[in-house]
Structure 1
Amino acid sequence: MSLKTLPVLSLASDPAELSRDIGESFHTFGFAMVKDHGLDPALVQRAWDLTETFFALPDAEKRSYFIAGQGGARGYTPFKTEIAKGAKLHDLKEFWHVGRDLPADHPLAGASMPPNIWPERPEGFRETFEQLYAALDRVGATILSRIAVWLGLDAHWFDGPIADGNSVLRLLHYPPVPDAEEGAIRAGAHEDINLITLLLGAHEAGLQLLTKQGEWIDVAPPEGALVVNIGDMLQRLTNHALPSTTHRVRNPVGERAAHSRYSMPFFLHLRSDFRFETLPGCISADNPDRYPVSISADDYLQERLREIGLKK
Structure 2
Amino acid sequence: MLPIVDFHAEDAAETFVKSLHETGFGVLKNHPIQKELLQSLYDNWAGFFNSDEKIKFQFNVETQDGFFPTSVSETAKGFKVKDIKEYFHFYPWGQAPEGLKQQAQDYFSQANDVAETLLNWVQEHSPADVAAKYSAPLSSMIEKSEQTLLRVLHYPPITGDEEVGAIRAAAHGDINLLTILPAANAGGLQVQLKDGSWFDVPGDFGCIIVNIGDMLQEASGGYFPSTIHRVINPEGEDRSRSRISLPLFLHPRPDVVLSERYTAREYLQERLRELGVK
Please give the TM-score of this superposition, normalised by the length of structure 1: 0.82
Q: Give the % identical residues.
A: 38
Matched, 1:257 2:224: no
Matched, 1:171 2:152: yes
Question: CA RMSD of the aligned region, Å?
Answer: 1.6
1:49-198 equivalent positions in 2, closer than 5 A: 49-58=43-52, 61-70=53-62, 73-80=64-71, 81-101=73-93, 116-120=94-98, 123=99, 125-151=100-126, 152=128, 153=131, 157-165=137-145, 166-179=147-160, 180-198=162-180
Check the 8 A contact 1:25/1:31 in 2, yes or no.
Answer: yes
CA offsets 1:126-183 (integer angstroms, 9 cap, x no match): 11011110000000001111111111459x9223211022111111100011312220
Name which one, 1 or 2, has greater alpha-carbon Rg: 1
Check the 8 A contact 1:100/1:164 in 2, yes or no.
Answer: no
Match of 1:276 among 233, 255, 258: 258
Tell me the residue number matched to 2:3: 7
Gap runs ≥5 in structure 1: 102-115, 278-291
Distance (whole Å) between structure 2 residues aligned to residue 161 and residue 57 of structure 1? 38
- Describe the shift of the 1:68–1:269 C-alpha distance in structure 2 as closer, same or farther (beyond 3 A): closer
Distance (whole Å) between structure 2 residues aligned to residue 223 and residue 253 of structure 1? 20
- Which one has a larger percent helix, Structure 1 or Structure 2? 2
Matched, 1:199 2:181: yes
Gap runs ≥5 in structure 2: none
CA offsets 1:18-49 (integer angstroms, 9 cap, x no match): 23211211111100100121112222222112
**How far 1:193 moved relative to its partner?**
0.2
1:233-244 equivalent positions in 2, closer than 5 A: 233-244=215-226
Tell me the residue number matched to 1:310: 277
- Describe the shift of the 1:100–1:302 C-alpha distance in structure 2 as closer, same or farther (beyond 3 A): farther
**1:140 aligned partner, one-letter code:** A
CA offsets 1:209-236 (integer angstroms, 9 cap, x no match): 0001111010123220100000000000
**How far 1:70 moved relative to its partner?**
2.7
- Describe the shift of the 1:100–1:257 C-alpha distance in structure 2 as closer, same or farther (beyond 3 A): same
Question: How many aligned positions are there?
Answer: 269
Tell me the residue number matched to 1:280: none
Match of 1:299 among 258, 266, 269: 266
**1:39 aligned partner, one-letter code:** I
Tell me the residue number matched to 2:36: 42
Please give the TM-score of this superposition, normalised by the length of structure 2: 0.92
**How far 1:86 moved relative to its partner?**
1.1
Distance (whole Å) between structure 1 residues aligned to residue 59 and residue 67 of structure 2? 8
Q: Compare relative contact order (CA 8 Å, sep 6+) and give the higher one, 1 or 2.
A: 2
SS at match of 1:64: helix
Tell me the residue number matched to 1:287: none
CA offsets 1:285-306 (integer angstroms, 9 cap, x no match): xxxxxxx43x221121111011
Tell me the residue number matched to 1:284: none
Tell me the residue number matched to 1:288: none
Check the 8 A contact 2:69/2:87 in 1, yes or no.
Answer: yes
